[in-house]
Amino acid sequence: MPITFKVIPMGDYLLIESQGSPASFDEFRSYYLSYIKELDESGLRRVLVDSRKVDYAGLDYHDLIAFMDDILIKGRNLIGNRTAVLSGLSNKAHYSRLESLAVNRSFSFRWFTTMDSALEWLLRP
């Protein structure tokens, strides 16, 4: 099933509800560039990506590096933004690596397994 998402403005943050499984890195790239565009257009600085219904098993570590490089090359300034990702334990390896890559590039990015902990971190002053 292709990866799809729905964007829901929540006042102080943007909620991205995602589902499916990217068949390729190109599909994953199209997905994340689309929701980053939505974030830019909203003017909000905080985003919660709910990917509990997404399976990233087809992506590897090199895809995650390409993801971060894409963001930097396209001029996307995530510094000052805060991104919380909500996902199940099945994607733990994927998001642990992505969190490490993001932090090493000074992006405020955290992975969570519960909505309460994600929102607590995302909405703190």
DSSP 79: B
**In the prediction, which pLDDT does 77 show?**
58
**pLDDT tens readout for residues 61-94:** 788 788 777 776 665 556 678 889 998 877 777 7
pLDDT along the chain (125 residues), means of 10: 90 94 86 81 90 85 80 63 86 77 79 95 93
* CA–CA dist 9, 76 (Å, integer): 20
* CA–CA dist 109, 107 (Å, integer): 6
H or E element at residue 92: helix 92-104
Structural domains in the chain, CATH included, are 4-122 (3.30.750.24)
DSSP state string for 15-77:
EEEEEE--SSHHHHHHHHHHHHHHHHHHT-SEEEEEEEEE--TT--HHHHHHHHHHHHHTT--
Cα 19 to Cα 33, 39, 43, 49, 121, distances in angstroms: 16, 18, 24, 11, 23
**In the prediction, which pLDDT does 76 show?**
58
H or E element at residue 82: strand 82-86
Question: What pairing do the DSSP bridges indicate for beta strands 46-54 and 82-86?
Answer: parallel
**In the prediction, which pLDDT does 65 show?**
80
